[in-house]
Structure 1
Amino acid sequence: MIYSIFKNLVSIRNGSRILPTCAKSVYFSRIISLFVVRYESGIAGKDQSFSISYLINTVGLSPQSALSVSKKIHFETSEQPDTVISFLMNHSFSKPQIRSIIQKWPASLLCNPEKTLLPKLQFFYSKRISGVRLLRVLSSNPDVLKRSLDNRIVPNFNAFKEVTRCNDEQVFLAYKNCSNVLWCDFGTKIAPKLAILKECGVPESTVMAEVVDHPRAFAVNHDNFRITVEEVKKLGFNPSKHNFLTALQAFLQISKSSREKKFNNLKKWGWSNEVVLSAFEKYPRFMMFSEQKITAVMSYFVHTMGWKASDIANRPVLLSYSLERRIIPRLCYSKSTEKEFLRRFVIPYEDPYLLKLYEQKLKTLKK
């Protein structure tokens, strides 16, 4: 009966729930949302109902997120979840960070924090990794906290550091960009790909810098990696130049069908196959931008600024610039960095109004 009452209080418009005027109270709307979630989930069982309530009221999840998380874990008392949350708070994780961990790793609420979490945190503390960065990275990607410290984290941390000759902070930043760094077998998953690059002539120092800065490129299938390396070589990229690795990263990150779509999109602007490949060779990174971004920048330069499409092909780095923050506010001086642009065109005039006008223009475009 009570489910019918609450369900009737909520009208549906275009697939969205619309709460009545009386539900403007945050507390009341939360109650209604919780009952709707329970109703739509087929009236959750007692344990799941308690889990949902806890996830909403204590963790701060939305009713929908709470329902999703509760399907992966069940608890009938708050004793264990309270222990985990207290542990994380005592180690300086903020409420939003704790919420992020629980959403990404629901089972964390039921772990023994002293056995599962503490040894890993102590390991990272021992590496003198910035506390702020440590908490931010672990909350956005808690995957490593699930792994064995002795069998995965320590040996992979040490292997990555030894091979790349980077410092502890850089190893952790590599993990931030690709969680495989600290839990996959470095010797069988990453090392063979480093060997492939060295064999084809990429300088060792460049290879090591690349695996630290862009480790995700080394997490792909081994055969696919080798085939893509050969494909980039056939396009004429010189392995001894840095743009070889940028082109490789672009091809590994984007499927062949997506690349073809982008090539065809650029051909609509009058770029021939040769022009597209020439632009790609000059600035391979533009291939990683979305079609929407490429089209928006091309359209502005050609239709608004009156440039020729070939002008952008000759300087494809222009495709990387932000329309709102760089191209439109500065017009034809978009190649300058923010500091250089201010030094050349704003600060010399010692006019506070000019600087204020420029800052207001940036804020308007960001909205």
Structure 2
Amino acid sequence: MLQMEEVRSQKLSEGLQESAKSVSKKVQLKNPTQPDSVLDLFKNHGFSQTQIRKIVETIPRLLLFNAEKTLLPKFQFFYSKEIPSSDLSVVLSSNPSVLRCNLDNRIIPNFNSFKDFTRRDDSEVFLAYKKCSNILACDFQSTIAPNVALLRELGVPDSNIMTELFRHPRFFAQNYDKFRRTVKEVEKLGFNPLKYNFLSALQALMQISKSTWERKLNVFKEWGWSDEDFVIAFEKFPRCMMLSEHNIIKKMNFFVNTIGWKSSVIACSPLILGFSLGKRIIPRYSVLQVLLSKGFIKKQISVQFLIYSEEEFLARFVTPYGDLHLLKIYKENNSLEN
């Protein structure tokens, strides 16, 4: 095992050197040792060989940067925000684009703007960057801020905006004209800006192309939804259209063919489509199957058993029947994949 790891490490090192040589051929280096100093910087700050290679393959020109003058100050800035090196290596290897940005003119003002907007702590701001490079890499005031201002003008509660901005920052980093047009579409559909599903509907319309929208709509229709069913479902749970087609099919198949519900039942309670099949739906249904077989509950199963919180579900369907070992059944099924 140790020998295999040594071979693997050697190959990764060779790969990094090849990346450095490739850049060297394309660009005339003022200092031949520059790529090595960049690689050493990453190594000295806890980046693994795999992480370094990923960064170099994504942005090979980083090897031409001055390690001490250009890259190190950015590391030091993130450390000053109490971001541990372990998080730094994970996030930057996943999304290294910020390393190309100017520290004083772009990274610091964007970091502070996003923090002020969302009222989150420093580490949370950095983790949000992992989801969307625009948070730190693009001009926050000219991209995200205008879209936020538009929502505020409509009366969307600040608490809703800030929560969604942190969870889905990419959604706010859209072209302003497109964002404004889509906001008008959501208004025409009758969504209330004061309610949270206004932003969910906006995100769905922003991120889904017309062709993808039609395909997903057809999937629901294939499972028996009418146009009216879809309107009801989308108004209640707009994120149903953000599920993958494969995800929709798997869940509709389970609800209709395994549990035996009519598809219109799911349309009236579309929130259940957002639940994990492996972590919530199947484990809970397995518990109810045991209770049905023992005669403790009636054959008719309501969607409410999926909507109950974890604590309430256990209190209602698991704890009172200790002799049936339902908790073991529940946990075993809970280990299934989504």
Q: Give the shorter-chain TM-score range.
A: 0.7 to 0.9
* 1:1-367 pair list within 5 angstroms: 56-58=11-13, 73-74=23-24, 79-331=33-285, 333-338=305-310, 341-342=313-314, 344-346=316-318, 355-363=327-335, 365-366=336-337
- SS in structure 2 of the partner of residue 73 of structure 1: helix
Q: CA deviation at 1:339?
A: 5.4
Distance 1:348 1:239, change over 3 A: same
Structure 1 position 350, deviation (Å): 5.3
Count of residue correspondences: 313
The Cα shift of 1:322 comes to: 2.5
When residues 145 and 348 of structure 1 are mapped into structure 2, their CA distance, relative to the original with a 3 A threshold, is farther
Q: Secondary structure at the match of 2:307?
A: coil
Amino acid at match of 2:70: T
Whole-Å separation in 2 of the counterparts to 1:290 and 1:222: 27
Task: Tell me by how many angstroms 1:236 deviates.
Answer: 0.9
Relative distance call for 1:71 and 1:224 in structure 2 (3 A) is farther
Alpha-carbon distance, 1:360 to partner:
3.9
Q: Distance in 2 between matches of 1:88 and 1:339?
A: 45
Task: Report the residue type matching 2:147 in the other structure.
Answer: K
In the alignment, the residues of structure 2 paired with residue 303 and residue 83 of structure 1 have an alpha-carbon distance, to the nearest angstrom, of 60
Greater relative contact order structure (CA < 8 Å, 6+ sep): 2
Cα deviation for residue 211 of structure 1 reads 2.2
Change (3 A) 1:234 1:99: same
Paired letter, 1:94: S
Query: What is the CA-CA distance between 1:195 and the residue it aligns to?
Result: 1.6
Q: CA deviation at 1:349?
A: 5.2
SS at match of 1:92: coil
Q: CA deviation at 1:184?
A: 1.3
**1:285-335: CA deviation from partner (whole Å, max 9, x where unpaired):** 111101111111111111122110011111111112232333223216443
TM-score between the two structures when normalised by the length of structure 1 = 0.74
Q: Given the two structures, how large is their TM-score scaled by the length of structure 2?
A: 0.80
- The answer to whether the Cα contact below 8 Å between 2:157 and 2:194 also exists between their aligned partners in 1 is yes
Segments of structure 2 that go 5 or more residues without pairing to the other structure are 289-304
Residue 57 to residue 249, structure 1, CA distance change in 2 (3 Å): closer
Contact map agreement 1:276 1:313 (CA 8 A) in 2: yes
Query: What's the CA shift string for 1:34-86, capped at 9, x where partnerless?
Result: xxxxxxxxxxxxxxxxxxxx99341668xxxx98x689624699954443333
CA-CA distance at 1:118 after TM superposition: 0.7
The separation in 2 between residues aligned to 1:152 and 1:313, in whole angstroms, is: 46
Structural RMSD (CA)? 3.3
**3-state secondary structure, aligned to 1:202:** coil
User: What percent identity do the matched residue pairs reach?
Assistant: 54
What is the distance in 1 between the residues matched to 2:135 and 2:100? 14
Structure 1: 5+ residue stretches without partners: 1-24, 31-53
Cα-to-partner distance string for 1:16-46 (whole Å, 9 max, x where unaligned):
xxxxxxxxx979x99xxxxxxxxxxxxxxxx
